Structures are given as C-alpha cells and as structure tokens.
Amino acid sequence: MCAQVVELCERVALLTRHHHNMLFIVSLMPLVERGCYLRCVLSYVFLTQLIQPPPDIGSFLEIQVSTTK
C-alpha cells in the first residue's frame, strides 16, 4: 500500500507548482486515519518539490553560470 500511496501523491503533486494550490490540495484530504496518512505523504512530496528546483531551471542556471565565466 505504501508504494501506491507514494505514487498517487507524486502524481497529485504534478498538478501544481504554486504553494497556495499545494496547501489547498492537502486541505482536501479527509480527517480520518487514511486521510491523515495521505496528508503527511502528500505534504512531504510537496515540500521536496518546493526545495528541489525543476530540472529545466537547474540546467538553465548552469548554462548561465558557465557562459558568464
């Protein structure tokens, strides 16, 4: 079940990149035991998404840094 929950949360995380929308999606989870578990996993996935830049931005920054040297 754990792998399915993580996969589901990763797919839901693809819906948005804006932090207010992320908060809204997490708040939609029900306040029962399974919903709380989904909230925790989904929050973790969203936080890692916020911390790690998307791959296209990272490569763009590397190109800018290498061309300015």
What is this structure's pTM?
A: 0.69
The mean of the pLDDT values for the chain is: 82
Which letter, b or e, does each residue of 12-45 get, where b requires 16 or more Cβ atoms within 10 Å of its Cβ?
Answer: bbeeeeeeeebeebbeebeeeeeeeebbebbbeb
Specify the higher pLDDT residue, 54 or 41.
41
Share of the chain above pLDDT 70, in %: 74
Query: How far from the centroid of its chain's Cα atoms is residue 48's Cα?
Result: 6
Own/partner contacts of 32-41, CB < 8 Å, gap of 24 or more, are 37/5, 38/5, 38/8, 38/9, 41/5, 41/6, 41/9
Residue range 13-25, pLDDT digits in tens: 889 889 999 999 9
Q: Find out whether 43 and 26 touch, Cβ atoms under 8 Å.
A: yes
